[in-house]
Amino acid sequence: MTSATTASARACANIALVKYWGKRSGPGNLPAEGSLSLTLAALVTETTVTFDPALAVDELVLDGEPANAVRTTEFLELVRSLGGSQARARVVTHNKFPTASGLASSASGFAALAVAATRAAGVTIDPRALTRLARKGSGSAARSIFGGFVRMHAGDRDEDAFAEPITSPLLDRVRMVIAIVGGGAPKLHGSRDAMDHTAETSPLYQAWLATVPPDLATAEAALAAGDLEQLGTVAEANALAMHATTMAARPAVIYWQPATLALLAAVRTLRGNGRAAWATIDGGPHVKVLTNVEDADHVARALAGVEGVTATTVSMPGAGAEVIS
Ligand code: DP6
């Protein structure tokens, strides 16, 4: 019997500026459309994977507690199918997120797992193939393989649906302020089920899908030109379109709480006062605000004063996923 092999990796979560919300039918977790995100230094997951021939089943320890390993095992089966270690694995993962925020960690989680598991299994894989592997764990995880601004591509074939980094003069200037609402209560609707339910029942879903390609083109042009206002404007509009589509599902999926709306109003007021501030919202009540290095602290202070906000964090762009030992 061969001995155990181990590797650890670190990955940062990312926040989409043009959202992924809907899949193609069939296997492989293929997104219906592309997306575009910013990887964030403040939201880090560290994961150690040990393939151990002495184990009878895969095990997952999440933030110190044994956890359900069903999605982890599904993912490790993909890694084992690449021809490295065939042993079961112990996965120990830790989210270094600000407070108990309830922020989605599947992006950083599956990106860190993809990097640690392939390394521990002895599988050689190039970065683009790594993004496709991470996508099969969670669509947004493909984007966390890279740092900074990242573009996810869509297509009917596995090889077409990969992520790649986008260079931009904005990278040194952008910051994201994360405003946590309601202390991070557990999510009412997981993204995976909610996006499927939206695709099946929302009368606005086709219009949402038609919105994404022009929003991606606008966002990419803004990144190329270094135009933060254009990027922020399309990001806020895109997020609101996603949420409108989701609220129109039957029955409705409503992620917002009163503080979410109050934050959107505060962001508009900040803009009215000449500050750089554009909001985006994912599958929860929290609001993330795209801003610049000059205005980040002012924006964070203003949002901390909104009733129902329990914490704020200013984040710089983060690095891509990497092996740490
Ligand atoms: C609202 O990547 O969690 O954050 O592929 O089913 O695991 P699965 O979905 P997931 O969805 C992320 C949805 C989002 C928008 C985004 O990150 O683009």
Q: What is the pLDDT of residues 23-66, one digit of tens each?
A: 999 999 999 999 999 999 999 999 999 999 999 999 999 999 99
**10 Å Cβ neighbour count for 157?**
8
Using a 10 angstrom Cβ sphere, with 0-12 exposed, 13-18 middle and 19 or more buried, the burial of residue 66 is exposed
Does residue 192 have its Cβ closer than 6 Å to ligand 1?
A: yes
Does residue 246 have its Cβ closer than 6 Å to ligand 1?
A: no
Distance 142 CA to ligand 1 centre (A): 10
Mean pLDDT, the chain, whole residue set: 96
If you average pLDDT over residues 229-244, what whole number do you get?
98
Residue among 116, 60, 36, 105 nearest 322 (CA): 116
Residues across the chain? 325
Does residue 283 have its Cβ closer than 6 Å to ligand 1?
A: yes
Distance 197 CA to ligand 1 centre (A): 14
If you average pLDDT over residues 95-109, what whole number do you get?
81
pTM: 0.97
> What pLDDT, in 10s, does the model give residues 117-158?
999 999 999 999 999 999 999 999 999 999 999 999 999 999
> What pLDDT, in 10s, does the model give residues 208-230?
999 999 999 999 999 999 999 99
Distance 90 CA to ligand 1 centre (A): 25
pLDDT at site 101: 64
Ligand 1 atom closest to the Cα of residue 15 is 17
pLDDT at site 102: 65
Distance 22 CA to ligand 1 centre (A): 9
CATH 3.30.230.10 occupies which residues in the chain?
A: 5-169
- Which CATH superfamily includes the segment(s) 174-315? GHMP kinase, C-terminal domain (3.30.70.890)
| pLDDT class of 190 with cuts at 50, 70, 90 | confident
Distance 66 CA to ligand 1 centre (A): 24
pLDDT at site 147: 98
If you average pLDDT over residues 248-254, what whole number do you get?
96
At residue 1, does pLDDT exceed 60? no
At residue 184, does pLDDT exceed 60? no
If you average pLDDT over residues 183-190, what whole number do you get?
65
CATH 3.30.70.890 occupies which residues in the chain?
A: 174-315
Q: From CA 203, how far away is CA 240, in angstroms rounded? A: 16
Q: What percent of the chain has pLDDT over 90?
A: 92
| pLDDT class of 108 with cuts at 50, 70, 90 | very high
Which CATH architecture fits 5-169? Answer: 2-Layer Sandwich (3.30)
At residue 186, does pLDDT exceed 90? no
At residue 270, does pLDDT exceed 90? yes
Gyration radius of the chain over CA positions: 19
Distance 273 CA to ligand 1 centre (A): 33
3-state secondary structure of 136: helix
Ligand 1 atom closest to the Cα of residue 152 is 18
Does residue 106 have its Cβ closer than 6 Å to ligand 1?
A: yes
At residue 104, does pLDDT exceed 90? no
Q: Whose CA is nearest to atom 4 of ligand 1?
A: 282
| pLDDT class of 98 with cuts at 50, 70, 90 | confident
> What pLDDT, in 10s, does the model give residues 292-307?
999 999 999 999 999 9
Does residue 35 have its Cβ closer than 6 Å to ligand 1?
A: yes
3-state secondary structure of 255: coil
